[in-house]
Amino acid sequence: MASPAARAPRTAGRRRSPTAPPRAFLWTRRIFLTALTGFVLLPVYVMLSSSLKPLEDVSGAFRWLPSELTIRPYLDIWHTVPLARYFLNSLIVAGSATVCSVVVAVFAAYAVSRYRFRGKRIFTVTVLSTQMFPGILFLLPLFLIYVNIGNTTGVALYGSRGGLVLTYLTFSLPFSIWMLTGYFASVPRELDEAAYVDGCGPLGALFRVVVPAALPGIIAVAVYAFMTAWGEVLFASVMTNDTTRTLSVGLQGYATQNDVYWNQVMAASLVVSVPVVAGFLLLQRYLVAGLTAGAVK
């Protein structure tokens, strides 16, 4: 934020502006940020470099650089485990959970941010508190419910993608409602009223005015919900079977009894990370703005 006028004396090495930070601060900053960057990027470097190594390189003592560069791991990952199927499962499950929770949350958040009604407080407190509950609390009962429904009606919820989507709503729904309520509250009510004057009903005002105005927030919530579902391990490890397994569980398949194909594990990790990291970097601004609107206020 330093204006050119304030920066000029510093580079010139003459009298420093009183608001310019002292040299000790600049050095501390340089050292701290370098160390932190190293810490943050270390696993990323290992992921990338190991994914390009032959198996001998990752089985023996660690090497910083590959003895030879190879893209074999990237070809082999699709055969060692059915990675494409896991990918598709993850995409379907995370996508459905995201769409479902965001759509439902849009209506709920609109009601909470625009209307006074009996039971509003109970609803918001319930939504807020379920967010802090551990997933394991819902996992055990849901598991038993699914097993029971399967036994009595023959509907196989346990192990199905639909059943997994439902369990993902335990964390994505309260989060979406909470964030969107905060976001909708920041859309001025005068906009709704203008829509009413123009002849819109409440739903018209929601879809023609509030949703477009809060679109960055909705995108942020969707990105976040998708990321969380894409990385979920607990429900996926219990509620899936061979055909519905998602990436978070499927990646364990690269460890056989005799050997772990670390180069393939790293290649697969990189491949499954690329879509979410790319999406995150593209939509980062919305996410940051959305998180702060929802979390800070």
Partner 1 sequence: MRGFTRLRRVGLPYLLLLPALLLELLVHLVPMVIGIVMSFKELTQLHIAHWGAAPWKALGNYRVTVDFDAPVGATLLHSFVVTCAFSLLTVGLCWLLGTAAAIFLQENFRGRGLLRAVFLTPYALPVYAAVITWAFLFQRDNGLVNHVLHDQLQLTGDRPFWLLGDNSFLALLVVSVWKTWPFAFLVVMAALQSIPKDLYEAAALDGAGIVRQIRRITLPSLRPINQVLLLVLFLWSFNDFNTPYVLFGKAAPEAADLLSIHIYQSSFVTWNFGTGSAMSVLLLLFLLVVTAGYLLATSRGRKSDG
C-alpha distance from residue 196 to each of 171, 189, 204, 215 (Å): 35, 11, 8, 20
Which span sits near partner 1 by CB under 8 A: 74-82, 147-155, 191-199, 210-218? 147-155
CB-facing half-sphere around the CA of 70: CA atoms within 13 A? 16
C-alpha to C-alpha distance for 245 and 255, rounded to whole angstroms:
16
C-alpha to C-alpha distance for 123 and 116, rounded to whole angstroms:
12
Tell me which residues in 4-23 interact with partner 1 (CB under 8 A). Answer: 18-19, 21-22
Which span sits near partner 1 by CB under 8 A: 79-87, 153-161, 207-215, 232-240? 232-240
Binds partner 1 (CB under 8 A): choice among 54, 82, 159, 202? 202
Residue 5: Cβ within 10 Å count = 8
In the block, tokens 């729904």 appear at 173
Shortest Å, Cβ 232 to partner 1 = 7
- Asked if 248 interacts with partner 1 (CB under 8 A), we say yes
Distance in Å from the first CA to the final CA of the chain: 25
- Asked if 133 interacts with partner 1 (CB under 8 A), we say yes
Nearest to 112 by CA among 210, 219, 216: 210
Beta carbons of 170 and 135 less than 8 angstroms apart: yes
Binds partner 1 (CB under 8 A): choice among 104, 200, 211, 219? 104
Q: Which two tokens stand for residue 55?
A: 């198996």
In the block, tokens 């990675």 appear at 83
The site string for partner 1 over 110-129 (x = CB under 8 A, - otherwise) reads: xxx-xx-x--x--x--xx-x
Binds partner 1 (CB under 8 A): choice among 83, 102, 142, 210? 142
Beta carbons of 203 and 279 less than 8 angstroms apart: no
Which span sits near partner 1 by CB under 8 A: 69-77, 188-196, 211-219, 288-296? 288-296
Shortest Å, Cβ 46 to partner 1 = 6
Binds partner 1 (CB under 8 A): choice among 140, 155, 194, 215? 140
Tell me which residues in 61-90 interact with partner 1 (CB under 8 A). Answer: 61-62
Tell me which residues in 23-52 interact with partner 1 (CB under 8 A). Answer: 25, 29, 32-33, 36-37, 39-44, 46-47, 50
C-alpha to C-alpha distance for 28 and 176, rounded to whole angstroms:
39
Binds partner 1 (CB under 8 A): choice among 148, 186, 241, 243? 148
- Asked if 197 interacts with partner 1 (CB under 8 A), we say no
C-alpha to C-alpha distance for 265 and 273, rounded to whole angstroms:
12
Which span sits near partner 1 by CB under 8 A: 68-76, 79-87, 189-197, 247-255? 247-255
- Asked if 155 interacts with partner 1 (CB under 8 A), we say no
